[in-house]
Amino acid sequence: MKKIRSVVVVGGGTAGWITAGRIAALQKKRLGKSQNATDKAVQVLLVESANKPPIGVGEGTWPTMRNTLRQLDIRESDFIKHCDATFKQGAKFSGWVTGKQDDYYYHPLVLPQDFSQVDIAPYWLWQKQQQQTESFSKAVCFQEYLCEQNQAPKNIRTPEYAGIANYAYHLNSEKFSRFLQQHCMEHLDVKHLVGDVTGVQSQPNGDIESLVISGQEAPLAGDLFIDCTGFSSILLGKHFNVPLTSCEDVLFADTALATRVNYDSSDAPIATHTNATAQNAGWIWDIGLQTRRGIGYVYSSKHSSEEAALAELLRYTGGQVNEADVRKIPINSGYRQTFWKNNCVAVGLSAGFIEPLEASALVLVELSASMIAEQFPATRELMDIVAKRFNDTFSYRWQRIVDFLKLHYVLTKRQDTAFWKDNQDMTSVPESLQELLQLWRYHSPRDYDFTSNNEVFPAASWQYVLFGMGFEADYSHTYNPDSYSSNMANQAMMKNKGMVDRCVAQLPKHRELIDKIHQYGLQSI
């Protein structure tokens, strides 16, 4: 039986370094420092091209990133200092329902109050039918209040990776991959090679035997090859010819115009949520880092010309950027039919990409890296079993993400542009999402509605978007306002009000906490 001893990761973007790091870190933890550890260890080598820089966008993350960094043995304070990173507590969707001035809702990262004990949604809906009530996100969760006031999710005494409110990060993608590189090389024994992969040598069974690298005489052999080459997908896409399952007829965005805007002053407030503002043919992301904001328009080129999109973006930035500072990135919306073929698995953009709404790309990188590291196949024979599971798991996850992103569009009431009207066309809605929407007319989203334990987004996230978008539902046939659970829901809402007062009174401003982390650092306990 052939043991899997050497892993070759191709590509040095965030996907490459996270995957290399997770495998190396877990090996290190499992083997410890014992004498024979080096004989047993799996060698991880990362090769990257000097000519093709990483994509350099991708600034929004999920709370999973906290665990990923911790698994890599990274100190949170170091990460925040070196990656221009800030705290993200959710997303604010403006203009997605009616497009009017007061149209917005939040998708916070904190679950609805007492979510594991009681579902507040039916009670909230009933209240809404009786009288004017607060928005769903405000009624069930305190985090929107923190976001509206640029308040941090923790204070300087909260240990690293712990939060008073749940959080993820906004980060500078270029700095992040350089930071990961240094950490992986210095602390996790990941080897690094610079060169372009120009060819592949195969074994009779189709496995990759070795890679031809520019400037290297001998080809680079390995047991497992991980394709993290971004959109070029040179191994899975080009060598193995695994086609892309397109999502363009569901999610229309196919182009991004990305730019950045500096703050007016070094003490300007930093937003602690992603601003996602609807436009004529898509939406604009606006992400606050420590030293600048990253802004970009994701749009459908079938619904807008580049000139019109550029004009919308420039208008959004209030004249603070000009055309020369805007970078165009085409998006080929879709994911591979399989992700793991023979002894090659793709992670990151090479595996697929759909528009960055809800920042799902890095989550998938983290989940992929984690599964490869945790279920690392000991032998070549086992690899086929792991590969099958990996493919099933991630095909499912991509479908769930597509459904979840489409949910943000399908419930819009906007009739002002073709883009929003086309999004309401039921033929563009996957059957799986149509079924869920039918279920949810009669009960609110709950974890039982999903058939797998591989969900990327919890039922709470579906609730926030569903009710944030003003979904019309009627739960009256199964719902009684005098019941025990209504009482519990009412109590949970009162509790949430208490949390609002306490958190708003106690938590520092986001900028203030970031400054303090630079000055003092967070404690690990």
Partner 1 sequence: MQKLVALHAQEHKHFKIKTEAVESVGSHERMIPVVMSEFIKLSVQYPIVFTKNIETGQFVLVALMGFEERENLFWKNDEWDAIYVPLNVTRQPFFIGADAQTKQHLICIDIASPCISMEEGESIYQQDGSESEYMNTIRNRLSELFRGEQEAAGFIDILGKLDLLVPLSLDISFANESHHQVQGVYTIDEEKLQALDKATIGELHAAQYLRPIYTMINSLSHIYGLIQRKNQRLENA
Ligand X SMILES: Cc1cc2nc3c(=O)[nH]c(=O)nc-3n(C[C@H](O)[C@H](O)[C@H](O)COP(=O)(O)OP(=O)(O)OC[C@H]3O[C@@H](n4cnc5c(N)ncnc54)[C@H](O)[C@@H]3O)c2cc1C
Residues that bind ligand X (CB under 6 A): 10-16, 47-49, 52, 54-55, 57-61, 173, 196-197, 228-230, 232, 234, 256, 258, 296, 329, 331, 348-350, 356, 359, 361-362, 365
Residue 38 as a binder of partner 1 (CB under 8 A): the answer is no
Shortest distance in whole angstroms from residue 27 CB to ligand X: 21
Range in contact with partner 1 (rule: CB under 8 A) among 223-231, 456-464, 494-502, 515-523: 515-523
* Min dist. Cβ of residue 57 to ligand X (A): 4
By the rule CB under 8 A, 130 interacts with partner 1: no
Asked if 162 is part of the footprint of partner 1 (rule: CB under 8 A), the reply reads: no
Q: Is 276 helix (H, G, I), strand (E, B) or coil?
A: strand
Contacting range for partner 1; rule: CB under 8 A; set: 57-65, 150-158, 163-171, 451-459: 150-158
Nearer to partner 1, 66 or 138 (CB): 66
Q: Which CB atom, from 301 or from 485, has the smaller least distance to ligand X?
A: 301
If one asks whether residue 505 binds partner 1 (CB under 8 A), the answer comes out as no
Token digits for 404?
């979840």
Looking only at the bridges linking them, the beta strands covering 224-227 and 220-221 are unpaired
- For residue 373, the one-letter residue type is A
Q: Which does 442 bind (CB under 5 to 8 A by kind): partner 1, ligand X, none?
A: none
Q: Do residues 439 and 449 lie in contact, with contact meaning Cβ atoms separated by under 8 Å?
A: yes
CB 313 within 8 A of CB 305: no
User: In this structure, which amino acid lies at residue 380?
Assistant: R
Query: Residue 413 CB, nearest distance to ligand X (Å)?
Result: 26
Token representation of residue 37: 């550890």
Q: How far is the CB of 398 from ligand X (least distance, A)?
A: 13
Q: By CB under 8 A, is residue 202 in contact with partner 1?
A: no
Residue type (1 letter), 55: I
Strand 104-108 to strand 90-94: parallel, antiparallel, or no bridges (unpaired)? antiparallel
User: Among candidates 329, 263, 325, which has minimal Cα distance to 292?
Assistant: 263
Q: Which stretch binds partner 1 (CB under 8 A): 1-9, 14-22, 411-419, 514-522?
A: 514-522
CB of 523 to partner 1, least distance (A): 6
- Find which of ligand X, partner 1, none residue 356 binds, CB within 5 to 8 Å per kind: ligand X
What are the C-alpha distances in Å from 389 to residues 42, 77, 372, 384?
A: 22, 36, 11, 9
Choice from 157, 204, 431, 482 touching partner 1 (CB under 8 A): 157
Strand partners, 262: 292
Q: Quote the tokens at residue 302.
A: 């079938």
Residues in the chain: 525
In the sheet with 344-346, reading across from the earlier edge strand, the strands are 191-194, 43-48, 6-10, 224-227, 344-346, 340-341
Q: Which is nearer to ligand X, 140 or 346 (CB)?
A: 346
Closest by alpha carbon to 211, among 186, 230, 238, 185?
Answer: 238
Residue 329: which of ligand X, partner 1, none does it interact with, CB under 5 to 8 A by kind?
A: ligand X
Provide the sign of the torsion angle of the four alpha carbons 341, 343, 348, 350, taken in this order: negative
Name the binder of 157 from partner 1, ligand X, none, CB < 5-8 A by kind. partner 1
Identify the CA nearest to 59 among candidates 136, 168, 150. Answer: 168
From the list partner 1, ligand X, none, pick the one residue 481 interacts with, judged by a Cβ distance below 5 to 8 Å according to partner type: none
Dihedral sign of CA atoms 414, 59, 299, 292 in order: positive
Does position 131 interact with partner 1 (CB under 8 A)? The reply is no
CB of residue 271 vs ligand X: minimum separation in angstroms? 14
In the complex, least distance from residue 126 CB atom to ligand X, rounded to whole angstroms: 36
Q: Are 445 and 114 in contact (CB under 8 A)?
A: no
Min dist CB 510 to partner 1, Å, is: 16
Kindly indicate which of the ranges 156-164, 293-301, 338-346, 466-474 contains the residues binding partner 1, using the contact rule CB under 8 A.
Answer: 156-164
Chain centre to alpha carbon of residue 303 = 26
> For the purposes of burial, counting CB atoms within 10 Å of the CB of 246, is it exposed (0-12), middle (13-18) or buried (19 or more)?
middle
Under the binding rule (CB under 8 A), the answer on residue 523 touching partner 1 is: yes
Q: Please give the size of the binding site for partner 1, defined by CB under 8 A.
A: 12
Q: Is 147 left (phi over 0), alpha (psi -120 to 50) or beta?
A: alpha
Point out which span in 5-13, 65-73, 477-485, 517-525 binds partner 1 (CB under 8 A).
517-525
User: Judged by CB, which is closer to ligand X: 48, or 119?
Assistant: 48
Binding residue (CB under 8 A) for partner 1 from 191, 192, 497, 516: 516
- Between 51 and 519, whose beta carbon lies closer to ligand X? 51
DSSP 239: I
Q: Could you tell me the end-to-end alpha-carbon distance of the chain, in angstroms, rounded to an integer?
A: 44
Q: Is residue 525 within the footprint of partner 1 (CB under 8 A)?
A: yes
Give me the residues that bind partner 1 (CB under 8 A), please.
Answer: 155-158, 516, 519-525
